[in-house]
């Protein structure tokens, strides 16, 4: 029974109908939960609020059962460990933490009295349920793999952009502070200008008025076009490499299958 539950909820390479149904059902439920969080930001009538609450209640019950089942079968993931150590290791995994955070916001108000501000934070945590969809699709897993594979290049490019923003904000503060003491009161306020300029967003709430400040702003904007595009190029190349490797694996499997079929056919003809 434990092995059957494990195969259903862990999506093996050759999933059964029950496993496919389980995945599709939870994907739909997770997406509907994301919609319900957005709907709750509107002023709803009492009947609709009641329906949303019951949907939330049923969803939490389902997610709780799923969470407990995953803990129950987690020792099959680590056969070389004792059941208790295997379950403790699973509880420390990223997806197990996401599963826990997805259901905690519902239970906490019934256990611990909290104020309205804390309740809003818990409602925000409900959106973490979206990350649960990572188990049932390869899209988010592919994105995570690309970021993991290119983490050093991404960190280097982001660090370079951040250093440039710090330098630009300090220089701009010294240039514009006398002309605009309220807008450029300190280097942190100038950092907001550097972020909006370097990313070429340009909100227009903070901008230089001196000639030297405008020249610096133009230089930073031009540098931002190139520097901010670097992480995008790194991620794009990561996706291309990932797809190339997948295609190579598919080609190798196909060639192996064809070769095996040819060998079997020759053996049959010899017999």
CATH code where residue 223 lies: 1.10.287.70
Q: Quick one: which of 58, 36, 60 has its CA closest to 48?
A: 36
Whether 168 and 105 map to the same domain: the answer is no
Exposure of 99 by Cβ count < 10 A (0-12 exposed, 13-18 middle, 19+ buried)?
buried
Q: Is pLDDT at 46 greater than 80 in this prediction?
A: yes
Overall number of domains in the chain: 2
- 101, 129 Cβ separation under 8 angstroms: no
For residues 8-25, give the mean pLDDT.
Answer: 79
For residues 187-216, give the mean pLDDT.
Answer: 85
Whether 181 and 246 map to the same domain: the answer is yes
Position 134 scores a pLDDT of 66
* Alpha carbon 126 to chain centroid, angstroms: 14
Exposure of 34 by Cβ count < 10 A (0-12 exposed, 13-18 middle, 19+ buried)?
middle
CATH code where residue 16 lies: 1.20.120.350
- 1, 94 Cβ separation under 8 angstroms: no
Cα separation of 208 and 176, whole Å?
7
The predicted-structure confidence for 133-161, as pLDDT tens digits, reads as follows: 666 666 666 777 788 888 888 888 888 88
Position 220 scores a pLDDT of 85
Written as six digits, the tokens of 252 are 């190798």
Position 80 scores a pLDDT of 86
Diameter over CA atoms, the chain: 96
Whether 71 and 110 map to the same domain: the answer is yes
Whether 113 and 180 map to the same domain: the answer is no
Cα separation of 154 and 150, whole Å?
6
For residues 129-136, give the mean pLDDT.
Answer: 68
- Distance of CA 117 to CAs 78, 112, 206, 268, Å? 41, 14, 31, 75
Whether 142 and 29 map to the same domain: the answer is no
51 vs 142, more confident: 51
Whether 127 and 251 map to the same domain: the answer is no
Whether 98 and 15 map to the same domain: the answer is yes
Q: Is pLDDT at 235 greater than 60 in this prediction?
A: yes
Cα separation of 27 and 113, whole Å?
32
How high does pLDDT run on average in the chain?
81
For residues 166-179, give the mean pLDDT.
Answer: 89
Position 12 scores a pLDDT of 61
Position 125 scores a pLDDT of 66
């Amino acid at each position: 029974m434990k092995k059957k539950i494990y195969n259903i909820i862990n999506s093996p390479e050759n999933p059964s109908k029950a496993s496919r149904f389980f995945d599709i059902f939870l994907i739909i439920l997770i997406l509907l939960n994301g919609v319900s969080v957005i709907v709750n930001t509107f002023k709803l009538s009492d009947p609709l609020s009641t329906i949303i609450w019951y949907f939330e209640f049923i969803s939490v019950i389902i997610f709780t059962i799923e969470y407990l089942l995953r803990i129950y079968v987690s020792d099959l993931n680590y056969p070389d460990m004792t059941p208790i150590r295997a379950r403790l290791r699973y509880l420390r995994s990223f997806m197990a933490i996401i599963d826990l955070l997805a259901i905690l916001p519902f239970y906490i108000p019934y256990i611990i009295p909290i104020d309205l501000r804390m309740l809003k934070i818990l409602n925000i945590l409900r959106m973490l349920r979206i990350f649960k969809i990572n188990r049932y699709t390869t899209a988010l897993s592919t994105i995570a793999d690309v970021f993991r594979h290119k983490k050093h290049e991404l960190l280097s490019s982001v660090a370079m952009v951040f250093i440039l923003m710090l330098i630009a904000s300090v220089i701009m503060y010294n240039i514009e502070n006398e002309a605009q003491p309220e807008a450029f009161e300190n280097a942190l306020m100038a950092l907001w200008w550097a972020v909006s300029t370097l990313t070429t967003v340009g909100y227009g709430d903070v901008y230089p008025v001196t000639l030297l400040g405008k020249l610096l702003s133009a230089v930073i904007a031009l540098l931002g076009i190139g520097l901010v595009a670097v992480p995008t190029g790194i991620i794009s190349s990561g996706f291309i490499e990932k797809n190339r490797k997948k295609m190579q694996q598919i080609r190798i499997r196909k060639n192996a299958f064809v070769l095996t079929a040819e060998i079997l056919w020759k053996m049959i003809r010899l017999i």
